[in-house]
Amino acid sequence: MKAARTVYLNGRFIAADTARINASDRGFVYGDGLFETLRVYDAHPFELEGHLSRLAGSAAFLQLPVPAVKWATVIAKLLQRNELSDAWVRITLSRGVAERGLDLPKNPSPTLLIAAGGIDPAVATRQRQGVRLTTVPFCRDPYLAPHKTLNYLPGVLAKAAATRAGVYDALFTDARGRLLETTTANIFVLKGTALRTPGRGVLPGVTRALIIKAAKAQGLRVTERPLSVRDLAGADEAFVTSSIVEVLPVLGVDQMRIGARPGPRTRQLQQAYRELVSEQKRLGRA
């Protein structure tokens, strides 16, 4: 993967290795901020409006001002400066520099950092072959789970658990043992023509919403409700979704085996997603 040579920081394009965040920035001190990560195909940001809408909604929830930025223009220039075409773009927004203390500053000056990088080639391999997951006995704070805050410690610890288990990622579970989401993706479980995914206590993924719509178009009955280990054990297929991995087949969780290979419905949804990307690229909206 190409390392980013240039980032966009507070209105300026600067060399990534010289970018500096103030030691009193609330994003660093308190995790007081948000981020969005989106996928770029052939230099076209995919579902940019969806990501910006979620960012705006979460910013309003946190009472965090969003700077006025020509997002598409800035992202296009950032990609050009880094010679990237198929890439990820991360928008990081913090409340900025302020005096110490938990009180919200009266006139915040947000810090905005936009970075980009190449897509890991392993993503395509995992899409073809599928992955395994492990469960962890904790989850993100349900109150904050619908927002991509800078406090990502639960994800860090869960990913470490997955690494120790020798699997791709970890599934958060709540106090009742219900399955929620992975560190970076939403989960779906298929039984017959019934497709289920948690609807509360999880991030409302942009890719998740697109897959729900595509699944309904294919005649699947989609329900948003809590998932149990029993649901997973009896599943015909399972997969996770995110902007970076798109639709990633899940072949097993802990000691449970879901299949020897990615299932046909998962493959159909992978194809539907690719067609959606191609259509938006054709319309100039990807």
User: pLDDT tens, 171-227?
Assistant: 999 999 999 999 999 999 999 999 999 999 999 999 999 999 999 999 999 999 999
Q: How many structural domains comprise the chain?
A: 2
Tokens at 191, concatenated: 């039984």
The verdict on pTM exceeding 0.75 is yes
Distance of CA 221 to the CA centre of its chain: 24
Q: Are residues 136 and 47 in the same domain?
A: no
End of a domain among 101, 119, 137? 119
* Contact status, residue 181 vs residue 187, Cβ threshold 8 Å: yes
The Cα–Cα gap between 64 and 32 comes to: 9
* CATH label of the domain that carries residue 114: 3.30.470.10
The domain in which residue 10 lies consists of: 6-119
- Residues 20 and 43 occupy one common structural domain: yes
Q: Please report whether residue 172 resides in a domain.
A: yes
- The answer to whether residues 137 and 110 belong to one domain is no
Return the percentage of the chain with pLDDT > 70, whole number: 98
